[in-house]
Amino acid sequence: IVIPKAKKVEFPTLLEQVPPKIKVYSIESIISEKFEAMVKLSMANSRMKDFYDVYTLSINYNFHGNRLKKAIESTFKMRKTIVPVNPLIFQTEFHNDKGRQMQWTAFLHKSRIADTDENFNQVMERITEFLKPIVISIKNKTQIEKSWCPSLGCWR
């Protein structure tokens, strides 16, 4: 499920040709799919790219709270996953896991990613700051009229 709906964007070409238009997921749908996988897999999760993608989107894009909330609610509902009150990925135990830190470091080096925080704990603190208010809003059945400010790393 893609919420908001997929949109068409021009895909750049290397040669001077007319760029093709392709349908792409909204960034809210990307986050909702990856967050659902993080929650479902919990401690068994070794998909470091999911953490990288959510972290990177959170430092580069503004988000409207209700739009992201709707995407997450829809994805969890479709996948029959319950939105937990306090997912393990939001907890210090997960953030400070030494094995996870080793996986994160290996992922960054193998993928040749040099411009991202190498401290998994700090990455997870950012992801928690980004997604926890959405989870609280879902659990409390309230609206989240705030917008995510990537430069400040907070909802305003």
94 lies in which domain range?
Answer: 26-155
- Say if 44 falls within a structural domain: yes
pLDDT tens for 34-50 read 999 999 998 888 899 99
- The rounded distance, in Å, linking the Cα atoms of 52 and 56 is 6
Share of the chain above pLDDT 90, in %: 76
- Say if 143 falls within a structural domain: yes
- Say if 5 falls within a structural domain: no
pLDDT tens for 9-28 read 776 777 777 887 877 788 99
- Say if 78 falls within a structural domain: yes
- Say if 40 falls within a structural domain: yes
**Hey, what are 55's tokens?**
């972290």
- Say if 17 falls within a structural domain: no
SS3 114: coil
- Say if 8 falls within a structural domain: no
The predicted structure's pLDDT at residue 25: 80
What count of Cα atoms within 13 Å lies in the side-chain half-sphere of residue 147?
A: 7
Q: Is the CB of residue 95 less than 8 Å from the CB of residue 121?
A: yes
The predicted structure's pLDDT at residue 115: 87
**Hey, what are 96's tokens?**
């400070």
- The rounded distance, in Å, linking the Cα atoms of 28 and 67 is 7
**Hey, what are 42's tokens?**
């919990």
pLDDT tens for 49-99 read 999 999 999 999 999 999 999 999 999 999 999 999 899 999 999 999 999
Q: How confident is the model at residue 2 (pLDDT cuts 50, 70, 90)?
A: low
- Say if 130 falls within a structural domain: yes
Q: Is the CB of residue 47 less than 8 Å from the CB of residue 37?
A: yes
Q: How confident is the model at residue 1 (pLDDT cuts 50, 70, 90)?
A: low
Domain total in the chain: 1
Q: Could you tell me the pTM of the whole model?
A: 0.88
Please, which residues have CB within 8 angstroms of residue 156's CB and are 6 or more apart in sequence? 146, 147, 149
